[in-house]
C-alpha cells in the first residue's frame, strides 16, 4: 500500500494505469470491456467518490496534480452526473455526453452501472472483515451471479483511519470523512457487482487499540515503521463473541439462502476475529437456517499462504467440521473484477495489489484465473485459535508446559527486544496478573517500545524501561535475571516465528539468549499479545 501517484494518468486506463490505480489488464480483456461499455445508454454513470473537482480541474483525493482539465461544457455535464440519471438521459441534456462519459470511464473518472434487477431469491450474503475483502477475494464469483441472485455484502469494520496517504505520511483525513469515503467506494463497488452493501458499527484494529485522539504525526510514523504491531495480533475471544451476536442479528433480518464467510488467512486480527465470530454464530444459524450452504472464501492477497489454508482445513477437520476445497474459474470476468477492485483507490494503490491478486487467482488453474473457496460440511466447531493461527504451534507447546506449574511460579520475566511488540497492553497486563497470581512480574522494555505500555505497571507487575541504544542497556536486566532464581522468561522479538531463509539466524539468537539465561524455561513470542492469548486459551481449556 503506497502513496497514490500524483502524475497524470495515460491516455487510456487500460493501457497505462501508472496513475492513481496502477492496474494492468491484458489487451484482450481491455477490448472486451470497451466493447461492452459502448452499449451504455441504459447505464447509470456515478462519479468515483475519491475524485474531487476544484474549479475546472479534477484531482485524486489530496493529489496536487490534476487527473483531468474540464471544458465549460464538461463542467456542466459533470455537475449533472448524480448517480441516478442514465447515459441516455444525460445525452438528451448534454449532446455528446455519451462519448465524453465513455472517455471518463476509461480515465477512471466515472463508473458505468448496468441496469440490474435481481430476484428476491436466492439471497446470498457475503460477510467481509473490511470494505474491500469481498471484491478482492470473491469478486469474480459474485460477478457470475450478478442479476441471477440477490446479493448482500456485509462489512464488519466501518470506522477506519487507514488510507494509502497514511503510509505516505501525507495530510491525514478525519476519521468520519475517511469512513464516509470508504463507504461510498464500497456502495459503488457493490453496485458494480450487482449487490447491496451493509455495514456494522465495528472499528478497525489500529483505532480499537489507539483511539483517534492518539493519532498524531508521531503515531503515524510508528504505524508506518511497524504496521504489524497494530494489526497482527491474537484475537480477543470477547470481541469475537460480541461480534457473533451482532452478526446473528443482521442474519435474522437478511435471511440468506447461502452464506460466505472469510477463512481467516494471514495474521490480521480483524480477519481472524471475523472468522471466529462467524463460526461461533453458525452454531445458532444452523438451527435457524438448517439447510443453508456455508462457504469459506480464501482472502486475497493472503490466499498466497497455501500452507496456512491447508492448516486451517486440517484443524477444522480434526474438530469435526469438514472444509471441502473447490475453485471456480473466473477468467471470463477477471478484467471486470480488477475494475471493481480499482474503485477502492483510497485504500491501496493498484500496482501494489495487482501482482498478489494475479498470483492468488492463477496459482493452480493452468494459466486461467480462479477463486478458491471451501464448502463447510458438518456441525461448525471453533478450534483453538493457537492451532488456526500461523506459526504458533511451538509457542502453544511451550505455554502448555508453563501452564502446569504457573501456580508455583514466584517470578515471571518478560524481555521485549527492540524488534518485539506488546499488542494490547492493558488487556495483556490483566491476563498476566490473572494467570500468575502468586508471581512477581517483571517486564523490560526498550525505549522504542515504551509508548506501547500506556498506563505502566501495577502493584504486582513492575515495568522497567531499558535506556540506551544497542545491547549495553540490557547488561543490567540480564545480570539481574541471571543471578535471580530460575524463573520462566518470555522473550519478545520479531524473528520468534521466522522460517524460510532465516532459520539459522533465529536459532543462533535463540541459542544465545537461552545461554545467557540458563536453568529456566525460555519462551519466544513475536508479541506479548500472542503469549497472553495462548496462555489464556490454555488456562481455559484446563479449567
Nearest 5°: the CA angle 110, 113, 114 is 145
CA dihedral sign of residues 137, 140, 144, 148: positive
> What 3-state DSSP class applies to 55?
coil
Q: Which pLDDT band holds residue 469 (cuts at 50, 70, 90)?
A: low
Mean pLDDT (whole number) for 364-380: 88
Closest CA to 477 of 423, 413, 411, 422: 413
Question: What gap in Å lies between CA 53 and CA 66, rounded to an integer?
Answer: 9
Look at residue 26 and tell me if it is in a domain.
no
Which distant-in-sequence residues (6+ apart) come within 8 Å of 172 by Cβ?
A: 161, 165, 166, 215, 220
Question: What gap in Å lies between CA 77 and CA 250, rounded to an integer?
Answer: 39
Top mean pLDDT of 3-17, 470-484, 488-502 is at 488-502
Which distant-in-sequence residues (6+ apart) come within 8 Å of 536 by Cβ?
A: 237, 431, 435
Look at residue 5 and tell me if it is in a domain.
no
Nearest 5°: the CA angle 509, 510, 512 is 60
> What 3-state DSSP class applies to 333?
helix
C-alpha cell read off for 159: 470506522
By the 8 A CB rule, do 482 and 517 touch?
A: yes
Q: Which pLDDT band holds residue 24 (cuts at 50, 70, 90)?
A: very low
Q: Are residues 201 and 267 in the same domain?
A: yes
Q: Are residues 415 and 381 in the same domain?
A: no
pLDDT at 217 over 80: no
Domain containing residue 293: CATH number: 3.40.50.10320
Q: Which of 14-28, 83-97, 231-245, 497-511 has the lowest mean pLDDT?
A: 14-28
Q: Which of 186-195, 259-268, 406-415, 461-470 has the lowest mean pLDDT?
A: 461-470
pLDDT at 111 over 60: yes
Q: Are residues 130 and 207 in the same domain?
A: yes
**How far from each other are the two terminal CA atoms of the chain, in whole angstroms?**
43
By the 8 A CB rule, do 251 and 281 touch?
A: yes
Question: What gap in Å lies between CA 530 and CA 416, rounded to an integer?
Answer: 13
Beta pairing, strands 489-492 & 411-416: parallel
Q: Which pLDDT band holds residue 22 (cuts at 50, 70, 90)?
A: very low
Strand ranges across the sheet with 57-60: 51-54, 57-60, 68-69
pLDDT at 30 over 60: no
State residue 12's pLDDT score: 34
State residue 13's pLDDT score: 33
Closest CA to 343 of 97, 103, 46: 46
State residue 164's pLDDT score: 61
State residue 27's pLDDT score: 44
Look at residue 114 and tell me if it is in a domain.
no
Closest CA to 490 of 449, 513, 522: 522
- Give how many domains the chain has, as a whole number: 3
Helix 237-254 to helix 269-288 angle (10° resolution) is 50
Q: Are residues 148 and 230 in the same domain?
A: yes
Mean pLDDT (whole number) for 55-74: 88
Q: Are residues 420 and 373 in the same domain?
A: no
Q: Are residues 151 and 63 in the same domain?
A: no
pLDDT at 11 over 60: no
Question: What gap in Å lies between CA 303 and CA 372, rounded to an integer?
Answer: 8
pLDDT at 20 over 60: no
Q: Are residues 157 and 134 in the same domain?
A: yes
Question: What gap in Å lies between CA 456 and CA 263, rounded to an integer?
Answer: 36
Helices (H), ranges, 202-268 = 205-209, 217-225, 228-231, 237-254
> What 3-state DSSP class applies to 102?
helix
Question: What gap in Å lies between CA 96 and CA 313, rounded to an integer?
Answer: 55
Answer with the one of 366, 387, 408 that is the final residue of a domain. 387
By the 8 A CB rule, do 538 and 438 touch?
A: no
Mean pLDDT (whole number) for 215-226: 70
State residue 459's pLDDT score: 77
By the 8 A CB rule, do 228 and 420 touch?
A: no
pLDDT at 47 over 60: yes
Answer with the one of 387, 412, 447 that is the final residue of a domain. 387
Mean pLDDT (whole number) for 289-306: 91
Q: Which pLDDT band holds residue 246 (cuts at 50, 70, 90)?
A: very high
Q: Are residues 243 and 194 in the same domain?
A: yes
Look at residue 33 and tell me if it is in a domain.
no
Look at residue 7 and tell me if it is in a domain.
no
pLDDT at 393 over 70: yes
Q: Are residues 412 and 538 in the same domain?
A: yes
Closest CA to 244 of 271, 283, 290: 283
16 or 56, higher pLDDT: 56
Residue 316's beta-bridge partner residues?
none
Q: Characterize 196-217 residue by residue with b for buried, 16 or more Cβ atoms within 10 angstroms of its Cβ, and e for exposed.
A: bbbbbebbbbbbbbbeeeebee
C-alpha cell read off for 316: 477444522
pLDDT at 58 over 70: yes
Look at residue 13 and tell me if it is in a domain.
no
By the 8 A CB rule, do 52 and 59 touch?
A: yes
Mean pLDDT (whole number) for 35-40: 66
pTM as predicted:
0.88
Where is 532: in which H helix or E strand?
helix 528-542
By the 8 A CB rule, do 60 and 51 touch?
A: yes
Q: Are residues 337 and 375 in the same domain?
A: yes
- Which residue, chain included where needed, has cell 545467557? 516
Domain containing residue 477: CATH number: 3.40.50
> What 3-state DSSP class applies to 252?
helix
Question: What gap in Å lies between CA 112 and CA 101, rounded to an integer?
Answer: 9
Domain containing 61 equals: 39-106
State residue 245's pLDDT score: 95
Cα torsion 26, 29, 30, 33 to 10°: value is -160
Answer with the one of 338, 368, 387 that is the final residue of a domain. 387
Look at residue 501 and tell me if it is in a domain.
yes
Mean pLDDT of the chain: 84
129 or 17, higher pLDDT: 129
- How would you class 141 by CB atoms within 10 Å of its CB: exposed for 0-12, middle for 13-18, buried for 19 or more? buried
Look at residue 89 and tell me if it is in a domain.
yes
Q: Say what percent of the chain tops pLDDT 70.
A: 81
CA dihedral sign of residues 341, 342, 343, 347: positive
Q: Are residues 379 and 400 in the same domain?
A: no
DSSP assigned state of 370: E
DSSP assigned state of 475: H
State residue 171's pLDDT score: 55
Phi/psi of residue 370, nearest 5 degrees:
-150, 160
Q: Are residues 493 and 358 in the same domain?
A: no
Amino acid at each position: 500500500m503506497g502513496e497514490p501517484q500524483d502524475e497524470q494518468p495515460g491516455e487510456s486506463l487500460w493501457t497505462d494505469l501508472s496513475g492513481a490505480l496502477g492496474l494492468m489488464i491484458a489487451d484482450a480483456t481491455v477490448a472486451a470491456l470497451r466493447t461492452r461499455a459502448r452499449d451504455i445508454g441504459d447505464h447509470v454513470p456515478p462519479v468515483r467518490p475519491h475524485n474531487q473537482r476544484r474549479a475546472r480541474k479534477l484531482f485524486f483525493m489530496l493529489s496536487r496534480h490534476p487527473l483531468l482539465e474540464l471544458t465549460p461544457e464538461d463542467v456542466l455535464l459533470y455537475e449533472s452526473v448524480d448517480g441516478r440519471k442514465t447515459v441516455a438521459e444525460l445525452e438528451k441534456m448534454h449532446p455528446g455526453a455519451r462519448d465524453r462519459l465513455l472517455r471518463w470511464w476509461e480515465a477512471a473518472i466515472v463508473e458505468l452501472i448496468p441496469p440490474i434487477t435481481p430476484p428476491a431469491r436466492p439471497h446470498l450474503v457475503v460477510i467481509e472483515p473490511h470494505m474491500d475483502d469481498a471484491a478482492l477475494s470473491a469478486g469474480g464469483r459474485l460477478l457470475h451471479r450478478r442479476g441471477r441472485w440477490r446479493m448482500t455484502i456485509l462489512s464488519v469494520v466501518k470506522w477506519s483511519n487507514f488510507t494509502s496517504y497514511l503510509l505516505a505520511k501525507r495530510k491525514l483525513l478525519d476519521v468520519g470523512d475517511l469512513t464516509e469515503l470508504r463507504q461510498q467506494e464500497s456502495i459503488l463497488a457493490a453496485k458494480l457487482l450487482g449487490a447491496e452493501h451493509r455495514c456494522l458499527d465495528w472499528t478497525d484494529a489500529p483505532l480499537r487499540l489507539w483511539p483517534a485522539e492518539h493519532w498524531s504525526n508521531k503515531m503515524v510514523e510508528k504505524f508506518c515503521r511497524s504496521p504489524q504491531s497494530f494489526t497482527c495480533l491474537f484475537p480477543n475471544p470477547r470481541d469475537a463473541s460480541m461480534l457473533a451476536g451482532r452478526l446473528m442479528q443482521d442474519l435474522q433480518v437478511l435471511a440468506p439462502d447461502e452464506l460466505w464467510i472469510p477463512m481467516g488467512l494471514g495474521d490480521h486480527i480483524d480477519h481472524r476475529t471475523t472468522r471466529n465470530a462467524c463460526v461461533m454464530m453458525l452454531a445458532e444459524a444452523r438451527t435457524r437456517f438448517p439447510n443453508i450452504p456455508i462457504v469459506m472464501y480464501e482472502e486475497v492477497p493472503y490466499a498466497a499462504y497455501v500452507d496456512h489454508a491447508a492448516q486451517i482445513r486440517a484443524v477444522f477437520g480434526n474438530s469435526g467440521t469438514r472444509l471441502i476445497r473447490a475453485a471456480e474459474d473466473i477468467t471470463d470476468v477477471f478484467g471486470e473484477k480488477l475494475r471493481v477492485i480499482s474503485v477502492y483507490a483510497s485504500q491501496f494503490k493498484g500496482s501494489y495489489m495487482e501482482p498478489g491478486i494475479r498470483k492468488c487467482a492463477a496459482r493452480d488453474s493452468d494459466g486461467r484465473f480462479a477463486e478458491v473457496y471451501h464448502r463447510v460440511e458438518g456441525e461448525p466447531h471453533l478450534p483453538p485459535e493457537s492451532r488456526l493461527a500461523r506459526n504458533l504451534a511451538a509457542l502453544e507447546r511451550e505455554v502448555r508446559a508453563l501452564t502446569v506449574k504457573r501456580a508455583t511460579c514466584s517470578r515471571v520475566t518478560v524481555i521485549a527486544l527492540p524488534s518485539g511488540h506488546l499488542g494490547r497492553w492493558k488487556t495483556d497486563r490483566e491476563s498476566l496478573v490473572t494467570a500468575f497470581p502468586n508471581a512477581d512480574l517483571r517486564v523490560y522494555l526498550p525505549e522504542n517500545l515504551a509508548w506501547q505500555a500506556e498506563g505502566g505497571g501495577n502493584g504486582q507487575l513492575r515495568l522497567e524501561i531499558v535506556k540506551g541504544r544497542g545491547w549495553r542497556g540490557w547488561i543490567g536486566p540480564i545480570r539481574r535475571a541471571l543471578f535471580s532464581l530460575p524463573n520462566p522468561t518470555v522473550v519478545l522479538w520479531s524473528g520468534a516465528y521466522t522460517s524460510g531463509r532465516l532459520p539459522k539466524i533465529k536459532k543462533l539468537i535463540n541459542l544465545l539468549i537461552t545461554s545467557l539465561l540458563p536453568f529456566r524455561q525460555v519462551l519466544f513470542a513475536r508479541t506479548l499479545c500472542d503469549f497472553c492469548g495462548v496462555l489464556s486459551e490454555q488456562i481455559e481449556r484446563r479449567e
